[in-house]
Amino acid sequence: MPKKALITGITGQDGSYLAELLLEKGYEVHGIIRRASTFNTDRIDHLYRDPHVNGSKLHLHYGDLADGSRITKLLYELKPDEIYNLGAQSHVRVSFDSPEYTGDVTGLSTVRLLEAIREAGLTQDVRYYQASSSEMFGKVQHVPQTEETPFWPRSPYGCAKVFAFWLTVNYREAYNLHASNGILFNHESPRRGETFVTRKITRAATRIKMGLQDKLYLGNLDAQRDWGYAKEYVEVMWLMLQQDKPDDYVCATNETHSVRDFVIETFNLLDLDWEKYVDYDKRYERPSEVDLLIGDPAKLKKQIGWEPKVKFKELVKIMTEADLELAKQEHAYKEATGVNKSF
Ligand code: NAP
Ligand code: F7E
């Protein structure tokens, strides 16, 4: 019998890479998707549609993390061996506009899932992964950040993630649930949402290169982040659930770079002078900012034997090359039809 995994947030960046990984490992993968008025499964369509790759091993179920009874029903029906809770309102800037919603979906939904595990009688059988975040360190108390660094979140998103983190720890301690937190630092890829800064930069720079866009408007260029590669990081999620004992781990590259560094590296790869194209827009500033993140993944290396291979320069290259391909397709389509169409 193949192992059965349930992924919340399967249509997101990480969910799509994780689904791919688990299907490769022979899992039966179930994902919860939201009903939307337009298609929202672009990132997993290739897995769903190609029967030669994964056939009937990927199953999608409509549901919403705000809907506790639906979650409980799904757990009763599916009885998964592993649950990866990746679903969230994951945009930090948006969390300032919608703090209550973010608290509900990113924070409180963790209770819904954890309680559903208990209600479905799965506490001793299931393994649970919580997508925790370096945003919990916020106004950092130590540099670099480790599992021991105290949290000081700086956004409603960060606060919701702290709540979810401690709930995960609490259910581990109170009910002996195999529940682990991956404290993942920023991780990016060609599948990154286009409003996160890295993808916004690579998308805009490549479109500028192809004559499809004139300017790139950004907020704070001084913020520093520890950026890794999403396709690699999802392996850590899986590895954490294969350990005998549940635990919490920082996953990071131990390098930090500013948003400005990311801009310069991208525009240099395309032979463009960034200062001609990048302008400031205060709308992208946050009411309170996280200035510096850099994670020390020593525990992950020591206990699980994992370390990242892709670092900053290679990551920028992977993303820029992928977005240049998209910009070329967009350019060709425009030449042929006179119509602007985003690919
Ligand atoms: P993402 O691309 O924004 O994906 C979020 C996923 O959550 C999407 O599938 C989204 O569905 C789903 N979702 C949102 N609201 C939902 C709701 N009410 N009910 C059900 N599903 C809902 O995020 P990501 O970058 O893959 O990140 C995955 C997880 O890791 C998130 O929890 C994020 O907060 C956390 N995290 C991310 C990073 C990072 O750097 N990427 C770092 C640390 C932690 P739709 O497609 O329908 O919107
Ligand atoms: O911002 C600055 C912004 O939105 C990075 C999420 O996946 O990682 C992500 O959160 C930095 C910030 O990511 C723009 O002020 C400047 O300092 O790409 P971001 P984030 O806020 O770090 C963590 C680990 C998560 O858990 C989250 O889910 O870039 N910045 N100008 C900008 N940011 C955006 N988005 N847009 C700009 O125009």
* 25-48 residue pLDDT tens: 999 999 999 999 998 999 999 997
Average pLDDT of every residue of the chain: 96
Cα atoms found within 13 Å of the Cα of residue 44, Cβ hemisphere only: 30
* Residue-wise burial string across 251-275, b where 16 or more C-beta atoms lie within 10 A, e elsewhere: bbbbbbbbbbbbbbbbbebbeeebe
Give the model's confidence band at 82: pLDDT under 50 very low, under 70 low, under 90 confident, else very high: very high
Catalytic sites, residue numbers: 133, 135, 157
225 lines ligand 2 (CB under 6 A): yes
- Ligand 1, residues at Cβ distance < 6 Å: 8-9, 11-15, 32, 34, 40, 64-66, 86-90, 105, 131, 133, 184, 186-187, 193
**pLDDT value at residue 215:** 98
How do residues 171-228 score in pLDDT, each as one tens digit?
Answer: 999 999 999 999 999 999 999 999 999 999 999 999 999 999 999 999 999 999 999 9
Are the C-beta atoms of 255 and 311 separated by less than 8 Å? Answer: yes
Query: How much is the average pLDDT of 11-23?
Result: 97
Nearest CA to ligand 2 atom 29: 197
pLDDT the model gives residue 123: 98
Q: Range with the lowest mean pLDDT among 17-21, 126-130, 334-338?
A: 334-338
Q: What is the pLDDT of residue 339?
A: 86
Q: What is the pLDDT averaged over residues 14-25? A: 97
Which ligand number lies closest to the CA of residue 278? 2
- Say if pTM beats, i.e. exceeds, 0.95: yes
Q: Rounded CA gap, 303 and 299, in Å?
A: 6
pLDDT value at residue 174: 98
